[in-house]
Structure 1
Amino acid sequence: MTTMDQLAMKQTEQQLQQATQQLTQMQGLAVEQATTATQQQLEQVQQQIEQAAQTLQLIESLQSGNNSFKKGLD
């Protein structure tokens, strides 16, 4: 193997290492983004649950008020 071939091999090895590092970084970012998206979805679900609970309380409150009103009419 000539010196030129050895240099070319070393350059190729370095490029492969850089590509591997970049891929690892990208995979890390992808995981972080997925986690963020999942967190956002969980937050949305939590908000929906809270809204549903508030709606339920409102319905119960209105039913209770309606029942009181009906009793007042009797």
Structure 2
Amino acid sequence: MTENSALIPPRYQENQSVSFLGGAGRIRDCHFIKGTWDYIVEMEFGQADRGRLGDETAVLLPESELEPRIC
């Protein structure tokens, strides 16, 4: 966490379910980069079958692309 990141807390927590254009998943980690939070999201099994190398796929997304998911 950088000095400036303390001023802007992350909107999402680790293991929180989120959705985004193209899928849904869980937050695995976050990083404060260039004034915004970016999140590593592990997609749920069974989504985005095309182009997938294994059972799990993680994507890096900015906070603005995510929405909380209500299960």
Q: Give yes or no for TM over 0.5.
A: no
TM-score, normalised relative to structure 2: 0.16
Q: Which has the higher strand share?
A: 2
* Higher RCO (C-alpha under 8 Å, 6+ residues apart): 2
User: Going by fraction, where is helix more abundant, 1 or 2?
Assistant: 1
